Structure 1
Amino acid sequence: MRHAVALSVGLALAQGAAAQEEALPLPSGLTAQVQEVLTDRPGLGLTYRFRFVAEGFAGVGDSEAELETVLADLVWLCESYALPRLAVTGPVPAQVVISLADRPSEFGVFDPDVTQVFEAYRPQEGACIWEMF
């Protein structure tokens, strides 16, 4: 059984590497690409982190409309990209974290030049349920 899980995780990571080239049109009009998928970082239970980059991403400004636009992009990435890939990666995680940045960055390293947002979701019945940190 361990080999089957390792094989499905390996296949998912190989698919993830190919998907890094895939352009993902977001509801906001931006186009995102997968930077990386991390499954080995601690979280609240099993956590998968999907990190995306979108050139021109400006983060969240002062208006509620800007916040809603960014949140719509994050939910779209979770439900349209991340959730369909969970079935092939092994056990369903307790949490999916979606991040969106204006450029690639190293996970866990603060870079003041990178604009980035992230939210955590609980996968449930084909939807991403927002989880407050």
Structure 2
Amino acid sequence: MTKFTVILAAGAALALSAGSAFAQDAAAGEKVFLKCKACHQIGEGAKNGVGPQLNGLIGRHSGAVEGYSYSEANKNSGLTWDEATFKDYIKNPKAKIPGTKMIFPGIQAQGDIDNLVAYLKQFDATGKKS
């Protein structure tokens, strides 16, 4: 094996491992969701509780779940929950929406946040998994 072949093989292995490090894992996200489960439900039959149900979260406007009593701050935030907005929000909800009644301190680990998003994205507005 030449030095060039060894360097090329090492570079390819590094590129593949870096790509998988950024992959979202919905199964791992389901475990992260356990932190959210005390207040939120998701899936078929999900109901509002302390927090709104989270079916169809990605793509939904903030303060839009029927039957849930949102804070004025959340209703008037003008946010649409795309991946980037939710990822920023879940790190520190009170910083993203000052005046929100959500008391959750946030999730700091980027891998956990990415996996949580992968889990949440599986559920459409009716709670069916795609």
TM-score norm. by structure 1 comes to 0.29
- Radius of gyration: which is bigger? 2
TM-score norm. by structure 2 comes to 0.29
Tell me which protein shows more strand as a share of its residues.
1
Structure having greater relative contact order (Cα 8 Å, sep ≥ 6): 2
Tell me which protein shows more helix as a share of its residues.
2
